[in-house]
A and B are shown apart, each in its own frame.
Chain A
């Protein structure tokens, strides 16, 4: 007897070392920069604790069902996104191609954000921190004008890091320091994804767990800072009136959707490396809940630090007023302290009103400082860095903070790259002789070269465009088609009914909750969210805030309108992934009509999960 030399295809497919690696990868993909710099901002502007109500409702009816669907799909079909959708129905192959395109676009710009984080990280090793003081002007009599009029932190971000141009049409030059950091970032991504999940599975232990450690350290430190309690009270005080505003519900739905990284194809890719008999239901619920808990957990240190910053700014405001008064009236030092400031002001106002008016004192209101809400890169690179300067031992805090941001972003990048990598491995375009290392190297190299355009002077404006248009609307469309495709085209009875795919995988009968949400609630919700989102985007004129030192209102940002060619690119970015769905369906239709009816084509009903790995 001779053993068959032909090894079955299933054994050749890479596997997770253990279940924990898989769960950690999904959690790392879902938990990203948005959990730290978008969720606390939404909580703040939408009535604090009251925002949690629409957030958890969206989680229950949109987040968890869609997540379960994707994980079950990948695990059952054991293929990347393109292969999986081709298997379900060749007409739905466009959905897979659409997710692949979105993953490519998002990978490009996401790693540039990581470049900025890395730049700040390697600058944090300097004592004193470079964003703590303004540089001097040429004749050393004062500070650099641009820096003096805004703040040192703003100057370091807009001038020393981005070297931003005043207009998106002016491209500026390539910033060599950003190119170096971009190369390093793509090298790190290559190092971690060089052999697919074999290497990311090891790297994820560090990049997924380390942020939690740092968040805990910041939590403990943040709570000891003065003014932290003000920030926390401000964040969590519920204002139920905001729930009447539909905008709040829309923001909650979109936040859940984008936070869980659905419709990228990365989750399908991760789940496809699982053994077929795995409880994907429990996995989905676990990942979704951990993601939301992380958002909540992260908002506590963020708001402690913001409260501290607001309190310090308030004290500074008071101190500046006190100094002006003391200097004007030649009163002895320390006669007016913060505690008796108000009594003194009222006394002086009644006795010398003209002098007080002449001083032009700023009104110092703690609420006003707390109300200054920022999200996104502004939160991390401007507000937080400013707060870090005020803390004792600021270098260590800066290093910890930026390593945490880097790990959060890197683990999300793994998911994005898997979403690009896995389908390519399965498509027969790539010859089998090319080793995985070479393929991932080529992907990283090409992405690096394309992403060089984000290191131009106008790069950050372009990243905003990509973030707003490529990373939002296409995902909603694709997720809608995903649910419709599985539930109505593949026929949910094949997925959860007769052939009992999901039942076989999880080992228990499918709950009514999944049936209802998959069939009706989630598609309906997605449709409503998509329409509302698009309507809102159309209402806002397509403008962007530009940093222009020559603007009269400087340091306020100048609102500029996108020129027509940029608007065309925005539409292209949003439409390209969506258009793949009907295009591929059309292409398949044409191909089928050209060929005579081929009886060997497998119809979707015949397919089953148990058949997949026999």
Chain B
């Protein structure tokens, strides 16, 4: 009994070693950069974290294929380096010693990428699945582009300024016209010279009028 158990274990171990190795079929390389992502709050990568990783991959496979057959023991990790990077495969327990096709694994990971990232407090860039491209989220675009709003404000201010200046110009022009006609009227009055309330033109030429009564008296004065 014991011997049989030992035998199966060794077979499984060898099989696992066969299945999970760098550049194996359906194997993916993962690269994790904890210090870049978390800085001082970085945690160390140890066996517990590896267990969590296996659990997350199993969770992703379960969610994707909706059959609860994938176990944590189906996920094999190997070649863990100090970087931290490692390779993993997902085995299929229903078929003997084979791996789940890479396309399925890829689709499952893509679908649950967000959950996997958050479990480790990392992002797409710091938890890299080297052959799996991530769907990039587009930048947030507001419904009306911001620049159009700013432009509208600026244009309204300019147009208000122009209208104000034009109107003040027209008003100034009208006032100047009114003033110039007033001064012209004043000048007309001033130009008309008056003699005893009678305009000189009516009196025929120059102001001043020789009064014949006084002029005639000149003979009364004794001549010198």
Interface set of A (CB-CB < 8 Å, partner B): 1-3, 5, 119, 122-123, 125-126, 128, 133, 135-136, 140-143, 177, 180-181, 183-184, 187-188, 190-191, 194-195, 199, 326-327, 330-334, 435, 437
- Smallest distance from the beta carbon of A118 to chain B beta carbons, Å? 8
The reply to whether A184 and B154 contact each other, CB–CB distance below 8 Å, is yes
Which residue of chain A has its CB nearest to the CB of B42?
A333
The reply to whether A136 and B136 contact each other, CB–CB distance below 8 Å, is yes
The reply to whether A142 and B150 contact each other, CB–CB distance below 8 Å, is no
Residues of A near B81 (CB, < 8 A) are: 330
A78 to B166, CA, bound (A): 27
The reply to whether B139 and A133 contact each other, CB–CB distance below 8 Å, is yes
Residues of B near A199 (CB, < 8 A) are: 165
The reply to whether B173 and A125 contact each other, CB–CB distance below 8 Å, is no
Residues of A near B33 (CB, < 8 A) are: 333
The reply to whether B35 and A184 contact each other, CB–CB distance below 8 Å, is no
A188 to B158, CA, bound (A): 6
The reply to whether B151 and A332 contact each other, CB–CB distance below 8 Å, is no
A199 to B164, CA, bound (A): 13
Which residue of chain B has its CB nearest to the CB of A143?
B136
The reply to whether B166 and A330 contact each other, CB–CB distance below 8 Å, is no
Q: Which of B84, B136, B187, B190 contacts A141 (CB 8 A)?
A: B136
Q: Do A333 and B36 form a contact, CB below 8 Å, given A126-B146, A136-B138?
A: yes
Could you jot down 6 A-B contacts, CB within 8 Å? A122-B147, A126-B145, A184-B155, A327-B83, A332-B84, A435-B169
The reply to whether A437 and B166 contact each other, CB–CB distance below 8 Å, is yes
A188 to B151, CA, bound (A): 13
A136 to B141, CA, bound (A): 12
B197 at the A/B interface (Cβ < 8 Å)? no
The reply to whether B136 and A125 contact each other, CB–CB distance below 8 Å, is no
A13 to B135, CA, bound (A): 69
- Smallest distance from the beta carbon of A131 to chain B beta carbons, Å? 12
A125 to B147, CA, bound (A): 7
- Smallest distance from the beta carbon of B159 to chain A beta carbons, Å? 7
The reply to whether A194 and B191 contact each other, CB–CB distance below 8 Å, is no
Interface centre among B31, B145, B151 (most CB of A within 10 A): B151
B133 at the A/B interface (Cβ < 8 Å)? yes
What count of chain B residues pass the 8 Å CB interface test?
A: 35
Q: Do A126 and B190 form a contact, CB below 8 Å, given A136-B138, A194-B165?
A: no
A326 to B82, CA, bound (A): 10
The reply to whether A330 and B147 contact each other, CB–CB distance below 8 Å, is no
The reply to whether B162 and A122 contact each other, CB–CB distance below 8 Å, is no
Interface centre among B147, B150, B173, B187 (most CB of A within 10 A): B147
A142-B136, A143-B136, A187-B158 are known contacts; what are 18 more A-B pairs with Cβ within 8 Å?
A: A122-B151, A126-B146, A128-B139, A135-B138, A140-B136, A177-B147, A184-B158, A187-B155, A188-B158, A191-B165, A194-B166, A327-B83, A330-B82, A330-B85, A331-B82, A332-B82, A333-B83, A437-B169
The reply to whether A326 and B83 contact each other, CB–CB distance below 8 Å, is yes
Residues of B near A126 (CB, < 8 A) are: 145-147
- Smallest distance from the beta carbon of A141 to chain B beta carbons, Å? 6
- Smallest distance from the beta carbon of A352 to chain B beta carbons, Å? 16
The reply to whether B187 and A3 contact each other, CB–CB distance below 8 Å, is yes
A265 to B173, CA, bound (A): 29
The reply to whether B35 and A140 contact each other, CB–CB distance below 8 Å, is no
Which residue of chain A has its CB nearest to the CB of B159?
A187
A133 to B166, CA, bound (A): 44
Interface set of B (CB-CB < 8 Å, partner A): 31, 33-36, 81-85, 133, 135-136, 138-139, 145-147, 150-151, 154-155, 158-159, 161-162, 165-166, 169, 173, 183-184, 187, 190-191
Residues of A near B166 (CB, < 8 A) are: 194, 437
Q: Which of A5, A122, A133 contacts B150 (CB 8 A)?
A: A122
- Smallest distance from the beta carbon of A534 to chain B beta carbons, Å? 42
A528 to B113, CA, bound (A): 70
The reply to whether B184 and A5 contact each other, CB–CB distance below 8 Å, is yes
The reply to whether A125 and B146 contact each other, CB–CB distance below 8 Å, is yes
The reply to whether B36 and A191 contact each other, CB–CB distance below 8 Å, is no
- Smallest distance from the beta carbon of B5 to chain A beta carbons, Å? 36
Which residue of chain B has its CB nearest to the CB of A436?
B169
Residues of B near A133 (CB, < 8 A) are: 139
Interface centre among B34, B138, B139 (most CB of A within 10 A): B139
The reply to whether A140 and B162 contact each other, CB–CB distance below 8 Å, is no
The reply to whether B187 and A125 contact each other, CB–CB distance below 8 Å, is no
Residues of B near A128 (CB, < 8 A) are: 139
A122 to B149, CA, bound (A): 9
Residues of A near B190 (CB, < 8 A) are: 1-2
Residues of B near A437 (CB, < 8 A) are: 165-166, 169
Which residue of chain A has its CB nearest to the CB of B190?
A2
Residues of A near B85 (CB, < 8 A) are: 327, 330
Which residue of chain A has its CB nearest to the CB of B83?
A330
Q: Do A180 and B162 form a contact, CB below 8 Å, given A3-B187, A327-B31?
A: no
The reply to whether A191 and B147 contact each other, CB–CB distance below 8 Å, is no
- Smallest distance from the beta carbon of B118 to chain A beta carbons, Å? 21
- Smallest distance from the beta carbon of B83 to chain A beta carbons, Å? 4
A127 to B52, CA, bound (A): 37
Which residue of chain A has its CB nearest to the CB of B187?
A2
- Smallest distance from the beta carbon of A161 to chain B beta carbons, Å? 11
Q: Do A2 and B191 form a contact, CB below 8 Å, given A141-B133, A333-B36?
A: yes
- Smallest distance from the beta carbon of B26 to chain A beta carbons, Å? 22
A141 to B146, CA, bound (A): 26
A334 to B84, CA, bound (A): 12
A177 to B146, CA, bound (A): 13
The reply to whether A141 and B191 contact each other, CB–CB distance below 8 Å, is no
The reply to whether A180 and B151 contact each other, CB–CB distance below 8 Å, is yes
**Those 4 A-B pairs whose CB atoms lie nearest each other, nearest first:** A330-B81, A332-B82, A330-B83, A122-B150
Residues of B near A3 (CB, < 8 A) are: 187
- Smallest distance from the beta carbon of B1 to chain A beta carbons, Å? 42
Which residue of chain A has its CB nearest to the CB of B149?
A125
The reply to whether A184 and B83 contact each other, CB–CB distance below 8 Å, is no
Residues of B near A5 (CB, < 8 A) are: 183-184, 187
Q: Which of A135, A136, A194, A333 contacts B34 (CB 8 A)?
A: A333
Residues of A near B155 (CB, < 8 A) are: 183-184, 187
The reply to whether A181 and B34 contact each other, CB–CB distance below 8 Å, is no
Which residue of chain B has its CB nearest to the CB of A332?
B82
- Smallest distance from the beta carbon of B22 to chain A beta carbons, Å? 11
A522 to B180, CA, bound (A): 50
A387 to B138, CA, bound (A): 24
- Smallest distance from the beta carbon of A14 to chain B beta carbons, Å? 13
Residues of A near B151 (CB, < 8 A) are: 122, 180-181, 184
The reply to whether A194 and B162 contact each other, CB–CB distance below 8 Å, is yes
- Smallest distance from the beta carbon of A490 to chain B beta carbons, Å? 38
Which residue of chain A has its CB nearest to the CB of B142?
A126
- Smallest distance from the beta carbon of A194 to chain B beta carbons, Å? 5
The reply to whether B154 and A141 contact each other, CB–CB distance below 8 Å, is no
Residues of B near A143 (CB, < 8 A) are: 136
Residues of A near B158 (CB, < 8 A) are: 184, 187-188, 191
Residues of A near B31 (CB, < 8 A) are: 327
Residues of A near B165 (CB, < 8 A) are: 191, 194-195, 199, 437
- Smallest distance from the beta carbon of B179 to chain A beta carbons, Å? 12
Residues of B near A135 (CB, < 8 A) are: 138-139
Interface centre among B31, B162, B184 (most CB of A within 10 A): B162
A344 to B31, CA, bound (A): 22
Residues of A near B146 (CB, < 8 A) are: 123, 125-126
Residues of A near B187 (CB, < 8 A) are: 2-3, 5
A280 to B81, CA, bound (A): 79
Residues of A near B161 (CB, < 8 A) are: 191
A327 to B32, CA, bound (A): 10
